Every structure is written in C-alpha cells, then in structure tokens.
Structure 1
Amino acid sequence: MEKLTIKAETKTINGEVNLTASKSESNRVLIIRALCEDYFPIHNLAAAKDTETMVNLLADKGTIKDVGPAGTTMRFLTAYYANTPGSWILTGSERMKNRPIAVLVDALKELGAKIEYLEKEGCPPMKIEGGNLKGGKICIDGSISSQYLSALIMIAPTLPGGLEMELTGKIASIPYLKMTLALIAEFGAKYTFEKNIIQIEEGKYKGKEFTVEADWSAASYWYQIAALAEEARITLKGLKEISLQGDSAIVEMYHSFGVESVFNGNQVTLKKLNQPSVKHFNYDFSDCPDVAQTLAATLSGLNIKGHFKGLESLRIKETDRIAAIKKELEKLGASIDILPNDEIQVNQGRLKAFDGSIETYDDHRVAMSIAPLCLKIDEIEIEEPNVVAKSYPDFWRDLAEKGLTSSK
C-alpha cells in the first residue's frame, strides 16, 4: 500500500495557486457537446481523472463503458447512452456497483428507455438499448442526488416534445441543478423552473466556445489552509465572484474563521486577518455537500463546536463520507457524533499526533480535507494518496510549493 507523509515546514502560507478547473462544469459541457450537432472547443477543461474518463468514454467507439469510481460520469452517461442508438454496457468499480442509480433508471424507463441491471438490482452494471426516447412528463424524487436531475436535464432538449419534471421531496444541491440549467441555456436550450417544476423545450444545442471556471471545491482546501495557518495570503486564480458553483458558499463560511476574500477579476486573494469569530458553527450543507468534510476538519483543527445537516447524499458518495470523516478525524483526537437524519455534531477536542495512517477509502475528499491538519499536528500519514487525481491531480505538488511538504 502506498503512503504519503505530509508535514508543515512553515505555518505562514503565501503565494499564488493555479487551481484545477471545475470538474462539475467540465463534465456537463462535455455531455452538451456530445449532444450538439456542432463541435465546439472547450478551454481549461478539468485535469481531474473523472473528466479524463468522461472524455475517453465519449470518444471510445466500443460498447462497454467502464467509468471506474466516477459517479458523475456514470449518472450522466446513463442518460446519454439511453438516448444514443446502440447497445451499451455501463460498469464501474466495486464501490460503483453498490451505488444506487434506480431513481434515474426508473425516470428514463418512463421516457421509453430499455435498461437492464446485470448484477445487483438498482445498481450498475447495466445493459442499455439506446435511442427512441420520447419526451413528456415525469415525477422524480429530487432529494437523493441532483446528478440524477442534471443527467435528465441535459438530454431533455433532444427529446421529442421536450421534458417536464415534477420534483418531489426536498431538492438536493440546488446550485448544481441551477448550474446545469444555466449551462444548457448557454448553448441555446430554453427552460422554466418554477416552484418544483422544471420545463425544458425541445430544441437543438448551438455550439460556441466555452471556458471552464476554476474549481471552488478545490478552493475549499486553500480556505481551510488559510484558516488553520498562523498567517496566510493566498491568491487563487480562475475563480469568479459570481459563480455557478454551489461550493463558492465557502467565501461566507470562512469569513467566520477570520479569512477574508478579496476578488480582482478572475482571481481571489485569501487573507488570514484574525482569529475565528464564532464559537459554534451551524450549517445546512444541502446546497454544497462536497465541502462538509472540509468544514468538519476545519472545526476540529480550530477546536470549534459545530452542527451540520443536509448531509444525506454523503452516504452514497465514493464512500460513506459521514462514517469516514468521523473515524479518520477521531484518530487525530477530534470528537464527532453522528445524529439522527444523517446530521453530525463536531465537539471540542484538541488534535494530537497519531502514530498510524489515515485511510482514504478510494475517496479524494477524505485525503484532501484531512491533509491541511498537518498545520496543527506536525505531520500526517495518508494512505493511497493518489486518490486526489479524481478531482485535483496537482494537490500534493501545490501544497508542497507552499510549504506543506510530502514524502513517501
């Protein structure tokens, strides 16, 4: 097993970071381009492994599509290939074969899709007989994953008669849903979204050059570093003050921890101004679940109490992130309680050196959210450090350039 030890050579973090591009934007625009009759260039495409997988599978003429651990890719391609003439098999990693996809598959079947589960009911792998989808009205649970909804939204303009979706339950990760809607509109689609009903007209996508924004999820780890450092002045390039990405909510979150954000064009400078102004941090992460682990680690590092809700989707990510973050942070001396309804409580507890290693569960966000805690406990050993390639391949290199060095 490969392991990496990360150590803070300095507690003062300064400099510039060329952030990786947004995986969320990249993967959506790739699907839109595949559905568009006109090829168009995409600039600043994410270097993330998930995006590389999407590019390769869309270009591959074979009928067996193996997404590995890429959940977004699996969901988006399920809808895409259900709408693409041919016989297709979608499969993935062992974890992927246990990640549910029935909500999306059932919705596609209502539109005429022919999809068969090949192993476990409700999970990949699947055989898809693509093409011949029709538009119409469907009712779908919006509380489980916005990716199911986004997958349907992107194919909707290509369906005869368009698509009307009635969303039931509390809608998960609304900013990601709005990102998808904004992107289809960018390429000529017309839609309305009122109350819990999304209506998308039949039409053709119109190709145009597109530049992907930097990744706010990746930015969250630099906000965490700024909060945990003694002093910090970090400029993150490629980020917009008004962003489609829900994780841009970290700007306000980290203001509570003494980190100021100063925007100048397409970049933001983080400044550690003072000590945290809050003693108890409560937050509903329904709109930005991917940064919940980062915040849990931040609170643990700053010895601040917190209460998190809106974490339901974390149970079906690359791993059970709620269980994982509790187990791994508690190795370092943190105290976390898992409450009913998948809420968590971060208790006060001073971090301490740990003689063992941090398990990453094939989950990039476990590795990246815990690594900055080396600013508080000298050094941390991370198992399978290459998991960061899923979304931020240069993570360890970027940290090393700012004084958080790693060795194997």
Structure 2
Amino acid sequence: MTIDLAVPGSKSVTQRALVLAALADGPSELRGALDCDDSRHLRAGLRALGIAIEDRDPANWRVVPGPLRDPGRALFCGNAGTTLRFLSALALLLDAPLVLDGDEALRRRPLGDLTDALAALGLSATWAGRPGCPPVTLRRVGVPGDEAVVGAGTSSQFASALLLVAPRLPHGLTVRPAGPAVSRPYLELTVECLRAFGVSVEERDGGWRVAPGGPHGRSFAVEGDWSSAAFLLAAARITGRAVRLANLRADSAQGDRAIVELLARLDEPPPRFFDLRDCPDLLPPLAAAAAFAPGTTTIAGVAHARVKESDRPAVLAEGFRQAGVRVVELPDGLRIEPGGEPLAATLDPRGDHRMAMAFGLLGLRRPDLRVTDPDCVSKSFPGFWQKLERLC
C-alpha cells in the first residue's frame, strides 16, 4: 500500500518570499507558506520594521509593505540563520540603527562575512559579544555602492541576503561570491524568487547583477520543501514502505531534491562516496539511511555543516555511536561502517531540528531509542513526528 503524505511549504522559499513581499511596491499574497519557528521570527522582525502581515490562516498570508521604520528595540531572531542574515541586509534601507540578537545557539553562528560586505556598502557593525556573531548593531554610515563581494565559503545566505535587498538600492547591486560558494543551489533559488517578484537579474562574471526597481507585489505560491521531504523519503527507505509525496516540484531549484538520486545510490555496491557541498542539509537524512545500508558509506564536503544550528557532523557521530552505529567523524563529514550492535539510548539533538529528525529515523528500526527535545523540529517541520508515525 502506498502512503500519501503532504509536504509542508519550503522554509527557504517562505523566508525569501517574505522579504521580497515586504520590500515590494504593493501587497502580496503568499499561498502555502510555512508556519514554523523561523518564519515566525522573520514575520515578527518585519512587523517591527513597519510591515503589515496578516497570517490568521497558517498557510496563506497577506503582506502589505510600507516605509521601513525604527523598530525601537532589538529584534530577536531565535536560532533562525536566515532571519538574522536577511534582516541584517535590510539595515541598508533603514535610517536608524538596527540591533539583532538571538538565542545562545545563534550567538555562535557567524555573520562576519556578511557584515564585511555590508561595510563596503556603507554599514558599520558593532558587536556586543563575540566578534562576528550576534548581538550586533548595524548603522548606515555611507551611501551604498553598486557592487559587493561576499564570502560564501561557510554559508550562501550571506549572498542571498544581499541579492534580496538589491532591487531597493538606488543603483541596484552586483553580488559576487569571494571564491567558491557552498550550497550554490540556494543562490539559484534566491534568483528564481527575485524573478518571480518581477526583479531583473542577470548572471555576470560568476555573480549576479540585480537591476534597481521592484520587487512587485503579487500572488505567490510557495512550493513544497525538499529538505523536509528528504526525511520522509529516507524513512520510507528504512521501513520499506511506499510513499507518495504531494506538493513537490521535480524541477525545483531546491538543491535538496537530489535526495531521490542519493538514496538510490545507496543500492550501489560499497564503498560509496557522497559529496554534499551543495546540499549540506541532506547530511542527516542520508546518514540515517546509510546506517541501514550494507557496507561503508562516506559523506564528505560538509565542513560548513559545523556552523549550522549545531555542529552537525559531531552531533550525528555522537548520537549514532550511542545508538550502536559504527561511525567515524571526518573533518568534513562522516564515514558510516557496517557492524555494530543496536543499543538502547537517549539521544540529544542539541536543539537542532534536523538532528532530532535524523535520530527519529534511526528509531524506526531501533525502537529502544529516545530523542530529547523532540519539539525542536518546529523550527522547520512542525508535523514531522505525526507524519513519521504513518511510516512506521
């Protein structure tokens, strides 16, 4: 029997669409948006900046832009990296200081590559704690130029933040990554969202030229989230169940749609090697599925996953070992080896939604496992445990 499941709206698309709708020249309707912790923090920040958002319907929101105003207080971003980084770039449009803060986990996440680029565009950054991490106060001290070079070796969100604000700058903006960019499909997703809101973007010399003008208010449908779908597809593989997922685009710009091919490759003879540089969020579901595949599987290219909501390779390695999975932590990933005896354990996801979901996948075949703080999945996939139960 095939199990039909609906995939929630894409968190990545929801966050980008919220910013574009807030900067648009008229109201927008966002249909199928994701109501989760991250989007709630971004909506709260945008409201404090003067944007009206009607979201009584959890999935369908009306965004009415207006002049950005002094929020009069620090904006709390929780542990939402996109919220922190996207709001940081909005300081280019604000005539008042912008103070951004977050929880203890977010205070360990880097922002310096973005603030360095913002400094070249006329913003100053003052750090209240650890340099390069929030809390931070951003002040406009000069006139924005029309070109920015931004470090993208630890996160593509820095470049995405600049791209999203670019059409509202007087001369637009050319954005170039400084060296190879990780998670490049997310930059392509940002460009796709910009164009959907009527912004002119052209690729130029390894970067993008965003023309001034726009975004334009519109009705916008948020596609399904391939990052969330990856866990459901991995769960189906682990349990041997057939699943059909609704609300997904096979031609999506989301890099995590690669999960279909990656899971199929687990059927190849070992040893297997996966490079997830462009899709680091697939490390947790792929690693969990690999724990039940024969032979050795190496997952590499994800050193930048150490500065996500947690140090993901380290947290996965610790949890897998506690569950009896043989695993070697590598500088840029994991090597999962055959053997090992299932152990009863309580696994700590360190507040990281994707760690909790990965440990939940292990529990499909190892019922003596428990996950502390299971509710942390609300950051991106509030209904995860209910959907996972249907695949047991």
TM-score clears 0.5: yes
Maintained 8 Å contact 1:82/1:114 = no
Structure-2 change in CA distance of 1:304 and 1:90 (3 Å): same
Question: RMSD over aligned Cα, in angstroms?
Answer: 1.8
User: Could you say which residue in structure 2 is the equivalent of 1:120?
Assistant: 130
Question: Separation in 2 of the partners of 1:200 and 1:160?
Answer: 11
Q: Are 1:352 and 2:342 matched, yes or no?
A: yes
User: Could you say which residue in structure 2 is the equivalent of 1:281?
Assistant: 272
What SS class does the counterpart of residue 375 from structure 1 fall into? coil
| Deviation at residue 130 of structure 1 after TM alignment | 4.9
User: Could you say which residue in structure 1 is the equivalent of 2:114?
Assistant: 104
| Deviation at residue 195 of structure 1 after TM alignment | 4.6
Q: Are 1:304 and 2:292 matched, yes or no?
A: no
Maintained 8 Å contact 1:333/1:350 = yes
User: Could you say which residue in structure 1 is the equivalent of 2:17?
Assistant: 29
Pick the aligned partner of 1:314 from 285, 301, 305.
305
Maintained 8 Å contact 1:97/1:123 = yes
User: Could you say which residue in structure 2 is the equivalent of 1:243?
Assistant: 252
Please, which runs of 5 or more residues in structure 1 have no aligned partner? 1-12, 258-275
Pick the aligned partner of 1:389 from 378, 388, 391.
378
What SS class does the counterpart of residue 89 from structure 1 fall into? strand
Pick the aligned partner of 1:233 from 229, 233, 242.
242
User: Could you say which residue in structure 2 is the equivalent of 1:266?
Assistant: none
Question: Separation in 1 of the partners of 2:364 and 2:104?
Answer: 34
User: Could you say which residue in structure 1 is the equivalent of 2:67?
Assistant: none
- Which deviates further from its counterpart, 26-35 or 91-100? 91-100
Q: Are 1:380 and 2:390 matched, yes or no?
A: no
Pick the aligned partner of 2:282 from 272, 283, 291.
291
User: Could you say which residue in structure 1 is the equivalent of 2:52?
Assistant: none
Question: Separation in 2 of the partners of 1:300 and 1:351?
Answer: 12
Q: Are 1:183 and 2:193 matched, yes or no?
A: yes
Maintained 8 Å contact 1:301/1:351 = no
User: Could you say which residue in structure 2 is the equivalent of 1:8?
Assistant: none
Question: Separation in 1 of the partners of 2:90 and 2:295?
Answer: 44
Maintained 8 Å contact 2:151/2:158 = no
Maintained 8 Å contact 1:294/1:369 = yes
Question: Separation in 1 of the partners of 2:202 and 2:388?
Answer: 43
Maintained 8 Å contact 1:90/1:126 = yes
User: Could you say which residue in structure 1 is the equivalent of 2:46?
Assistant: 58
- The amino acid across from 2:261 in the alignment is E
Q: Are 1:328 and 2:319 matched, yes or no?
A: yes
User: Could you say which residue in structure 2 is the equivalent of 1:260?
Assistant: none
| Deviation at residue 287 of structure 1 after TM alignment | 1.1
Q: Following superposition, which runs of at least 4 residues in structure 1 exceed 6 angstroms of deviation?
A: none
Q: Which has the higher contact order (CA 8 A, sep 6+)?
A: 1
Question: Separation in 2 of the partners of 1:349 and 1:294?
Answer: 19
Question: Separation in 2 of the partners of 1:145 and 1:194?
Answer: 20
Q: Are 1:254 and 2:263 matched, yes or no?
A: yes
| Deviation at residue 375 of structure 1 after TM alignment | 2.7
Maintained 8 Å contact 2:32/2:223 = yes
Question: Separation in 2 of the partners of 1:130 and 1:110?
Answer: 11
Maintained 8 Å contact 1:351/1:377 = no
What SS class does the counterpart of residue 382 from structure 2 fall into? coil
Maintained 8 Å contact 1:83/1:131 = no
- The amino acid across from 2:22 in the alignment is A
User: Could you say which residue in structure 1 is the equivalent of 2:63?
Assistant: none
Q: Are 1:45 and 2:45 matched, yes or no?
A: no
User: How many matched pairs?
Assistant: 370
Please, which runs of 5 or more residues in structure 2 have no aligned partner? 50-70
Give CA deviations for 1:238-297 in whole Å, capped at 9, x if unaligned.
00111121100011112234xxxxxxxxxxxxxxxxxx3432321111111001121111
Give CA deviations for 1:147-169 in whole Å, capped at 9, x if unaligned.
00000000111112221223222
Question: Separation in 1 of the partners of 2:21 and 2:220?
Answer: 10
Maintained 8 Å contact 1:115/1:128 = yes
- The amino acid across from 1:24 in the alignment is S
| Deviation at residue 403 of structure 1 after TM alignment | 5.3
| Deviation at residue 90 of structure 1 after TM alignment | 0.5
Question: Separation in 2 of the partners of 1:239 and 1:303?
Answer: 30
Question: Separation in 2 of the partners of 1:159 and 1:149?
Answer: 15
Maintained 8 Å contact 2:299/2:333 = yes
* TM norm structure 1: 0.86
User: Could you say which residue in structure 2 is the equivalent of 1:6?
Assistant: none
| Deviation at residue 142 of structure 1 after TM alignment | 2.3
User: Could you say which residue in structure 2 is the equivalent of 1:338?
Assistant: 329
| Deviation at residue 146 of structure 1 after TM alignment | 0.3
Maintained 8 Å contact 1:83/1:133 = no
| Deviation at residue 369 of structure 1 after TM alignment | 1.1
| Deviation at residue 133 of structure 1 after TM alignment | 4.8
**1:186-197 to 2 correspondence within 5 Å?**
186-197=196-207
Question: Separation in 1 of the partners of 2:93 and 2:368?
Answer: 50
- Which deviates further from its counterpart, 121-130 or 169-178? 121-130
Maintained 8 Å contact 2:17/2:193 = yes
Maintained 8 Å contact 2:85/2:161 = yes
